[in-house]
Amino acid sequence: MATHLTHWGVLDADSDGERLTAVRPWRADPEPTPLIENVASAQHHPARIDQPYVRRGWLEHGPGPGPRGSEEFVPVSWETALDLLAGELSRVYRDFGASAVYGGSYGWASAGRFHHAQSQVHRFLNCLGGYVSHRNSYSLGASTVLLPHILADMGTIMSRATTKSVLAEHSKLIVSFGGLSPKNVVVSPGGVSKHNGRGWIRQAQANGCRFVTIGPLRDDSPAEAQAEWIAARPGSDAALMLALAQVLDAEGLADNTFLDRYTVGYERFAAYVRGAEDGIVKDPEWAEPITGVAAARIRTLAREMAATRTLVTVSWSLQRARYGEQPLWLGVVLAAMLGQIGLPGGGFGHGYGSAGNVGLAVRVTSPPKLPQGRNGIDDFIPVARIADMLLNPGAPYEYDGRRRTYPDIRLVYWAGGNPFHHHQNLARLRTAFGRPDTVVVHDPFWSATARHADIVLPSTMTIERDDYGSGEGDRYLFPMPALTRPHAQARDDYWMFGELAERLGIGKEFTEGRTAQEWLRHLYDEWRERLRGRGYEVPDYETFWAGESIELPIESEEHVAFADFRADPQAHPLHTPSGRIEIFSETIAGFGYDDCPGHPVWLEPDEWLGSPRAARFPIQLVANQPRTKLHSQLDIGAHSQSTKIQGREPVRLHPDDAAARGLSAGDIVRIFNDRGSCLAGVEISDSVRPGVAQLSTGAWYDPDPADPSHCRHGNPNAVTEDRGTSRLSQGCTGQLALVEIERYTDPLPPLTVTGPPPVAHR
């Protein structure tokens, strides 16, 4: 029996050395999650990669652009695979240099700090001279760029958010745009020990806090919240927020003392709200036809917000859409107008329902981690511009006030991520992946990305290797001793990079002569010494490794975001140009972007229910995070599979939309627009706003061989648009897309992603 950390919680497992024979939730977890059931059932699944493979065309004709994703793979020995790859790496670095290697390798990989795949691949490529990297994330593309201009950097906002315990005690009204999703807070990067997604909400309720959820799904807030559900049209939040601001402004409810002392630019913004610029007053009557929310309710909500201790919280999903900066910025502006930023239970929140690590006690330290070394070049792309980069080498683009140029990439190296899960418009991505000379993928599974690679190397799962880990902001550090031996010929990413480094003459730099076990001890000891220097004691390595977990030192149990700034804005200025909250940003205005001007505005996206495009594609697809898994991970696992309909991903529709299309629960449908299509299985629920269909991400992309824009399994990125949030942040806009849905009447095609791809024998 041993505990083991995953991104979605701690499991407690029995093992026979080959497989997990029983899996239970950790006894200390107050809110266990069924996601842990995916692990054991996936380990020896046919979709696991059993040994190294090379795409046949690449093996026979050498590196070059090619038809990735449709050819057979040839099994090869580890020796052959590593020799071929080392040869190709030395060719590319010699002939084209580090700026021809894309090693961004975005993705969540697995819990466990040492074997963290991105750290491993970045360290390895840095030893070779560097690589074109990525900035920001698919999670927070707009936030990461916008917020430092107007409030604070994302790291501060996340790690110094007001703790949930403070909200539970002091908040009287929590208005959440995008909800407080119980499915999302189950997860956090690196793991969650004691889940507390519902506990703090139950407590807040008991203390008299009221919850209002704005969004397309009733169950974006847990039952415990007993939330009022305001089902605004997706993508219209900025208009709703402007109308709330207009009421506060017009009725003298804005806190002018706060605005004067702590913000800049309110008058510029207020002029827009009052219609001084365009003659349009942004009042609730203006917002009603845009948002679908009654003007009277918008007006009373604004008054309620001004009358009590109110938290305005915006989920990350709102900014994962075209013009995603606007509702985020308006959330900050609304909180500033209410004048409660820096007070317990009031102010602005970001992501209390997006991940488990928002609003935790403040830690003294993060866990030990592998140093990645220094990248010899500084070229990067905003992460979600991957297909643009591969398709348009040398082309210019805008980003955060700069004109930049896409590099010319020859080799793409991915370990620990799945772009054919995370990227939009997968048919376009597939074309883009046909361009480089070589694509290398390490993964435990035949992910859609592995299927689009030339050289495929099988990685271990966390349960097959020794490691330790602690989630972002989490209180506990867990030893993670291997629970079983590796599946078939799978090896640790560290072992693969060590072997490659040896062949490339950088063995010493990469491994520093240490085995994985030696690294674990070395990194821990170093970390322990550093902590000791700061006056904190943690157990020695032997004691830690032999135990179940250790508690990390905490700086403060309870925290109120921006309390010091509020107490003394001169002594604790913000790191914005003015030192204050920027309701108008001279910097952003100076960039001259009409898709993100100097103060927040309502901009009509192309893909929302109010656009002309909705005449052809009248359903707003909400492609949110999946409840039954993390992204694409372990989609073949038992819990994820338990919700599939005839093997397809479920899509949830409102009864009226289903009836209008003659659909019943359990039917298979085709979801389509002019970019692509996918199959899905119908679920019907009045928890979905009319005009909306929810199809979560995560179904493994199973392209129709004759038409790769059609996914037979239910991946929403077959239909989403590959376009940046704005020129400011160039973030991912995968959350929303317009589609039409029809009954699928052809014979149901078999799925091919649940097994290995076609294999050729030489």
Q: Which stretch binds ligand MGD (CB under 6 A): 87-95, 153-161, 301-309, 616-624?
A: 616-624
Q: Which stretch binds ligand MGD (CB under 6 A): 105-113, 390-398, 578-586, 596-604?
A: 105-113
Residue selected from 119, 136, 511, 720 as contacting ligand MGD according to rule CB under 6 A: 720
Residue selected from 317, 484, 549, 730 as contacting ligand MGD according to rule CB under 6 A: 317
Q: Which entry of Mo ion, ligand MGD, none binds 752, CB below 5 to 8 A by partner kind? A: none
Backbone angles phi, psi at 347, to 5 degrees: 95, -150
Residue selected from 455, 630, 653, 741 as contacting ligand MGD according to rule CB under 6 A: 630
Task: Give CA–CA dist 275/334, Å, rounded.
Answer: 18
Of 58, 102, 108, 316, which one is the catalytic site residue? Answer: 108
State the nearest-atom distance from the C-beta of 137 to Mo ion, in Å: 6
One-letter amino acid at 758 equals P
Query: Looking up tokens 């990227």, which residue turns up?
Result: 423
Q: According to CB under 6 A, which residues from 542 to 581 bind ligand MGD?
A: none
Task: Give CA–CA dist 190/660, Å, rounded.
Answer: 44
Residue selected from 234, 349, 469, 681 as contacting ligand MGD according to rule CB under 6 A: 234
Task: Give yes or no for residue 217 binding ligand MGD (CB under 6 A).
Answer: yes
Task: Give yes or no for residue 697 binding Mo ion (CB under 5 A).
Answer: no
Task: Give yes or no for residue 716 binding ligand MGD (CB under 6 A).
Answer: yes
Q: How many CB atoms lie within 10 A of CB 646?
A: 12
Which residues 6+ apart lie within 8 Å of 371 measured at CB? 123
Q: According to CB under 5 A, which residues from 111 to 140 bind Mo ion?
A: 139
Q: Which stretch binds ligand MGD (CB under 6 A): 78-86, 110-118, 278-286, 545-553?
A: 110-118
Question: Considering beta carbons, is residue 354 or 752 the nearer one to Mo ion?
Answer: 354
**Nearest residue to Mo ion, using CB?**
139
Question: Considering beta carbons, is residue 347 or 626 the nearer one to ligand MGD?
Answer: 626
One-letter amino acid at 204 equals A
Can you give 425-488 as a three-state secondary structure string? CHHHHHHHHCCCCEEEEEECECCCCHHHCCEEEEECCHHHCCEEECCCCCCEEEEECCCCCCCC
Task: Give CA–CA dist 654/694, Å, rounded.
Answer: 10
Is 106 labeled as catalytic in the residue annotation? yes
3-state SS class at 524:
helix
The partner residues of 5 in beta bridges, in order of sequence, read 10
Q: Do 216 and 694 meet the contact criterion of CB atoms below 8 Å apart? A: yes
Question: Considering beta carbons, is residue 225 or 623 the nearer one to ligand MGD?
Answer: 623
Q: According to CB under 6 A, which residues from 160 to 199 bind ligand MGD?
A: 177-179, 181, 183-184, 186-187
Task: At 608, list the tokens.
Answer: 């929302």
Residue selected from 310, 354, 576, 725 as contacting ligand MGD according to rule CB under 6 A: 354
Write the interaction track for Mo ion spanning residues 138-167; mark x where CB under 5 A is met and - where it is not: -x----------------------------
Task: Give yes or no for residue 421 binding ligand MGD (CB under 6 A).
Answer: yes
Task: Give yes or no for residue 605 binding ligand MGD (CB under 6 A).
Answer: no
Q: Which stretch binds ligand MGD (CB under 6 A): 59-67, 279-287, 519-527, 629-637?
A: 629-637
Question: Considering beta carbons, is residue 515 or 556 the nearer one to ligand MGD?
Answer: 515
What 8-state DSSP symbol labels residue 99?
G
Task: Give yes or no for residue 316 binding ligand MGD (CB under 6 A).
Answer: yes
Which residues 6+ apart lie within 8 Å of 243 measured at CB? 282, 283, 284, 286, 287, 291, 295, 298, 302
Task: Give CA–CA dist 277/282, Å, rounded.
Answer: 11
Q: Which entry of ligand MGD, Mo ion, none binds 416, CB below 5 to 8 A by partner kind? A: ligand MGD
Count, in order, helices (H) and strands (E) of the chain: 25, 33
Residue selected from 102, 108, 131, 468 as contacting ligand MGD according to rule CB under 6 A: 108
State the nearest-atom distance from the C-beta of 143 to ligand MGD, in Å: 10
**160-191 as b/e: b if 16+ CB within 10 A:** bbbbbbbbbbbbbbbbbbbbbbbbbbbbbbbb
Task: Give CA–CA dist 462/113, Å, rounded.
Answer: 10
Is 519 labeled as catalytic in the residue annotation? no
Residue selected from 68, 113, 170, 320 as contacting ligand MGD according to rule CB under 6 A: 320
State the nearest-atom distance from the C-beta of 392 to ligand MGD, in Å: 21
Task: Give CA–CA dist 455/453, Å, rounded.
Answer: 6
Task: Give CA–CA dist 77/762, Å, rounded.
Answer: 12
Task: Give yes or no for residue 734 binding ligand MGD (CB under 6 A).
Answer: yes
Backbone angles phi, psi at 405, to 5 degrees: -130, 135
Helices (H), 180-221: 199-206
Question: Considering beta carbons, is residue 196 or 315 the nearer one to ligand MGD?
Answer: 315
Q: Which entry of ligand MGD, Mo ion, none binds 150, CB below 5 to 8 A by partner kind? A: none
Strands (E), 604-717: 619-622, 650-653, 668-672, 677-684, 692-694, 703-704, 707-711
Q: Which entry of Mo ion, ligand MGD, none binds 354, CB below 5 to 8 A by partner kind? A: ligand MGD
Q: How far apart are the first and last CA of the chain?
A: 43
Residue selected from 216, 407, 691, 714 as contacting ligand MGD according to rule CB under 6 A: 216
- C-alpha gyration radius of the chain: 25
Q: Do 111 and 93 meet the contact criterion of CB atoms below 8 Å apart? A: no
Of 8, 26, 102, 106, which one is the catalytic site residue? Answer: 106
Task: Give yes or no for residue 442 binding ligand MGD (CB under 6 A).
Answer: yes
Write the CA distances from 392 to 176, 397, 670, integer angstroms.
39, 10, 32
Of 710, 736, 713, 708, nearest in space to 723 by CA: 736
State the nearest-atom distance from the C-beta of 314 to ligand MGD, in Å: 8
State the nearest-atom distance from the C-beta of 326 to ligand MGD, in Å: 11
Q: According to CB under 6 A, which residues from 367 to 396 bind ligand MGD?
A: none
Question: Considering beta carbons, is residue 99 or 137 the nearer one to Mo ion?
Answer: 137
By annotation, the residues acting in catalysis are 106, 108
What residues line the site for ligand MGD (CB under 6 A)? 107-110, 115, 117, 138-139, 177-179, 181, 183-184, 186-187, 214-217, 220, 234-235, 237, 315-318, 320-321, 354-355, 415-418, 421-422, 442-445, 447, 459, 493, 622-627, 630-633, 697, 716-717, 720, 732, 734-736
